[in-house]
C-alpha cells in the first residue's frame, strides 16, 4: 500500500520516541543470542549485548561494550575476543595493518585466560586464524583461514546459532572477495535457513541471510528474513535499514522507503549519542534516494540531497562527497543530461569521486557536447586507475576487466561521435559483466543503458528485449518500465505497452511527481 511521506515521518518520529533522552542509555532491543561464557554472571548481560550489537554491525557500540567488559573483568576471555571481532568490519572494509595488530593483541589476551570452555576456545581459535601475524596474507587468505576454522567448529557443533551464523557470514565474506561466489552464497543460505526456523529472533541469522541473498537471482529467498529483521533488533539502525537490500532487489519501493526513513532517524540519534558513525545515516539515505526515484518522487529524492548538510557526526568533506554522489546519480536517473554535464567539480582533490565525472561524461555525451565529454572521461579514467591502484594496495583483488562505469562513459562518448557499433559493444560488455556479478542494487543497470541506446537508434524491438532482461534482474525500475513501454509502443505492440505503462503507474507513490508519469496516464486513459 502506498504511504505518504508524512506517514513515513510519523514512523521516524515513533522510532525516535522509543529512545530515552540523550542523558539515558539506549534500550537493548537487539534480538536474542545464545552465548554462555565462563565470565562472571554479572558480566553475562554485557557480553550478550556486545555480541548482539556485533551481529547487527553496530561495530562502534559493540567495541565500546566489549571494552567495558574487559575493563571490568580482565580475565573474561570473550570480552577480549569481542573487542577483536568488533574491529573486523565484515562486508564493509578490511582491517588495515594497525587494526590487524590490535586485533591480534586482543586475541592474545583472550588466549592467556586459561579457564575457558571448549566452545569459547573454538571462537578464539577462529579469530586467531584471521588475526594471525603473517603480514603478507591477502584478504581472501585471511578470510579463508577464518572460515575453514569455523567450518570445522560448526561441524562439531551442528545447529549452534552463534557458530552457524558466524560461519555463514564468513562464507558471504568469501563471496565478497570473489572466492567461489555463488557456491559460498548458496552454502551460507543452506546453513542459515534451518537456523532461522529454529532461532526466529536471532539478529545474526536474519541479518546474514539478507546479505547472502542480496543478488537478483537469490533475493526472493531473503524476503522472510527481511520482513523479520527490523522487528528482531529495532534498536539497531542497521537492522532497520538492512531489509531494504531485499526490498530494492524485489522492487518494493514503499517498503524500502519506510525502512530507510526509520533507519536514518535511528542512525542520527545514535550518532548524537556517540554510539555510531555517520555512515549509518548516509547508507540509509542512499537507498532512500534511490527508492524515491523509482517510485516517481523526484522532489523527495532531491530533499534527501539537501539533507546531506545535516548528517550528524559527518565532516564537511564527507557531507560534500555524499551530496556529490547523490546529485550525480539523481541527474542520470532523471535523464537530465545538461544537469549531469554541469555537476560541480568537487572542491577538494582528495574528495574527488568517480561518480561525479562518470555522470559529467555521460551527461555531456548525451547533450552532444563532445569536448566536455572527452574532458570528463579523461578525469574519470585517471580516477578509476587511482581507485584500482588503491584497491590493490589495500589488499583487494582488482579485476582484469574494464570497470563498468568506465565502459558506460566510453560507450556514450562513442555514440555521440557517431560510432554506434563501438558504443553498443562497450555497453553490452558492461551489461554482461554486471549480470554475471549481481550488479549494484542501487545503481543504473548497464543493460538498461544498452536498451536506451537501442531505442535512440530506432531499434525498438531490440530495445524491448533488453529492457525485459534488465527488469528481470532489477524489477520495477521507473526508467526500465518507461523505456519498455515506449519500446513496445514504437514496435506496435499495444498490449505490451499497456502492460508496462500500467506497471509503472502501479509502482509509483500517490505523491509521485516525475513528469514522465503523465505520459503513462495519457496512454492508459486512451485504452
What ranges do the domains of the chain cover?
A: 1-24+235-314, 28-228, 336-444, 451-527
- 28-228 and 451-527 in the same fold: yes
Q: Which residues of 65-76 are buried (b: 16+ CB within 10 A; e: fewer)?
A: bbbebbeebebb
Q: Could you confirm whether domain 451-527 is CATH 1.10.357.140? A: no
Cβ–Cβ contacts within 10 Å for residue 498, how many? Answer: 18
Angle between helices 478-491 and 494-507 (to 10 degrees): 160
- Can you read off the three cell numbers belonging to residue 179? 572466492
pLDDT at 352: 60
User: Over the range 348-358, which residues count as b (16 or more CB within 10 Å of their CB) and which as e?
Assistant: eeeebbbbbbb
Architecture of domain 28-228: Alpha Horseshoe (1.25)
DSSP string for 32-100: ------SS-TTTHHHHHHHHHHHHTT-HHHHHHHHHHHHHH-TT-HHHHHHHHHHT--TTT----HHHH
Residue 136's pLDDT is 82
Can you list the alpha helix ranges (DSSP code H) found in 131-252?
139-156, 161-176, 181-198, 203-212, 223-232, 237-241, 243-250
Query: Scanning the structure block, which residue is given the C-alpha cell 563471496?
Result: 175
**Rounded-to-integer distance, Cα 134 and Cα 55, Å:** 27
* DSSP-assigned letter for residue 24: S
- pLDDT at position 20 is 35
- Dihedral sign of CA atoms 67, 71, 72, 75 in order: positive
Q: Which element (helix H / strand E) includes 444?
A: none
Q: How far apart are CA 255 and CA 249, in angstroms?
A: 12
Cβ(25)–Cβ(55) under 8 Å?
Answer: no
Q: Report d(CA 181, CA 231) in Å as an integer.
A: 29
| Residue of 442, 180, 85 whose CA lies nearest to 188 | 180
Rounded to two decimals, the pTM is 0.92
For the chain, what percentages of helix, strand and coil (3-state, to nearest 5) are there? 70, 0, 30
**Average pLDDT per run of 10 along the chain, which is 527 residues long?**
37 38 51 94 95 96 96 96 96 90 96 92 97 87 96 97 98 94 97 97 98 97 96 95 97 97 94 90 96 97 96 93 96 98 83 85 98 96 88 71 94 98 98 90 96 98 98 97 98 97 95 95 89
Residue with cell string 555480541: 51
- The pLDDT of residue 264 is 95
* Rounded Cα–Cα distance for residues 206 and 165 (Å): 9
Amino acid at each position: 500500500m502506498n504511504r505518504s511521506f508524512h506517514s513515513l515521518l510519523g514512523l521516524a518520529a515513533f522510532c525516535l520516541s522509543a529512545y530515552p533522552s540523550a542523558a539515558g542509555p539506549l534500550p537493548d532491543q537487539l534480538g536474542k543470542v545464545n552465548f554462555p561464557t565462563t565470565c562472571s554472571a554479572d558480566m553475562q548481560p554485557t557480553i550478550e549485548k556486545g555480541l548482539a550489537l556485533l551481529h547487527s554491525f553496530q561495530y562502534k557500540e559493540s567495541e565500546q561494550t566489549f571494552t567495558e567488559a574487559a575493563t571490568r573483568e580482565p580475565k573474561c576471555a570473550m570480552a577480549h575476543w569481542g573487542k577483536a571481532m568488533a574491529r573486523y568490519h565484515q562486508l564493509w572494509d578490511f582491517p588495515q595493518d594497525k587494526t590487524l595488530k590490535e586485533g591480534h593483541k586482543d586475541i592474545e589476551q583472550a588466549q592467556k585466560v586459561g579457564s575457558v570452555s571448549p566452545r569459547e576456545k573454538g571462537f578464539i581459535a577462529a579469530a586467531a586464524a584471521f588475526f594471525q601475524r603473517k603480514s603478507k596474507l591477502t584478504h581472501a587468505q585471511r578470510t579463508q583461514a577464518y572460515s575453514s576454522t569455523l567450518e570445522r567448529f560448526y561441524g562439531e557443533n551442528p545447529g549452534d546459532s552463534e557458530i552457524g551464523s558466524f560461519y555463514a557470514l564468513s562464507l558471504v565474506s568469501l563471496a565478497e572477495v570473489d572466492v567461489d561466489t555463488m557456491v559460498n552464497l548458496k552454502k551460507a543460505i543452506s546453513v542459515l535457513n534451518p537456523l532461522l526456523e529454529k532461532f526466529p529472533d536471532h539478529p545474526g541469522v536474519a541479518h546474514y541471510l539478507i546479505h547472502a541473498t542480496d543478488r537478483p537471482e537469490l533475493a526472493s529467498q531473503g524476503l522472510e528474513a527481511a520482513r523479520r529483521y527490523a522487528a528482531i533488533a529495532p534498536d539497531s539502525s542497521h537492522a532497520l535499514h538492512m531489509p531494504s537490500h531485499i526490498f530494492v532487489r524485489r522492487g518494493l519501493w514503499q517498503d524500502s522507503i519506510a525502512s530507510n526513513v526509520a533507519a536514518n532517524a535511528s542512525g542520527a540519534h545514535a550518532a548524537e549519542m556517540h554510539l555510531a558513525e555517520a555512515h549509518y545515516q548516509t547508507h540509509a539515505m542512499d537507498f532512500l534516494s534511490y527508492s524515491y526515484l523509482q517510485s516517481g518522487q523526484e522532489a523527495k529524492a532531491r530533499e534527501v540531497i539537501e539533507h546531506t548538510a545535516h548528517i550528524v557526526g559527518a565532516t564537511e568533506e564527507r557531507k560534500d562527497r555524499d551530496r556529490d554522489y547523490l546529485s550525480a546519480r539523481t541527474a542520470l536517473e532523471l535523464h537530465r543530461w545538461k544537469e549531469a554535464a554541469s555537476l560541480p567539480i568537487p572542491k577538494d582533490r582528495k574528495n574527488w569521486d568517480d561518480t561525479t565525472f562518470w555522470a559529467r561524461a555521460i551527461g555531456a555525451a548525451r547533450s552532444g557536447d563532445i569536448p566536455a565529454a572527452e574532458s570528463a572521461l579523461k578525469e574519470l579514467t585517471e580516477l578509476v586507475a587511482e581507485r584500482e591502484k588503491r584497491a590493490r594496495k589495500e589488499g583487494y583483488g582488482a579485476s582484469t576487466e574494464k570497470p563498468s562505469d568506465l565502459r558506460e562513459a566510453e560507450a556514450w562518448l562513442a555514440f555521440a561521435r557517431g560510432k554506434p557499433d563501438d558504443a553498443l559493444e562497450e555497453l553490452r560488455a558492461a551489461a554482461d559483466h554486471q549480470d554475471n556479478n549481481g550488479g549494484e542494487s542501487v545503481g543504473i543497470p548497464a543493460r538498461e543503458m544498452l536498451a536506451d541506446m537501442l531505442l535512440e537508434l530506432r531499434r525498438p524491438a531490440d530495445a524491448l528485449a533488453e529492457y525485459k532482461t534488465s527488469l528481470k534482474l532489477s524489477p520495477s525500475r521507473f526508467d526500465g518500465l518507461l523505456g519498455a513501454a515506449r519500446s513496445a509502443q514504437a514496435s506496435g505492440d499495444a498490449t505490451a505497452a499497456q502492460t508496462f505503462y500500467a506497471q509503472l503507474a502501479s509502482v509509483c507513490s500517490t505523491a509521485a511527481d516525475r513528469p514522465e508519469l503523465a505520459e503513462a496516464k495519457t496512454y492508459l486513459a486512451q485504452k
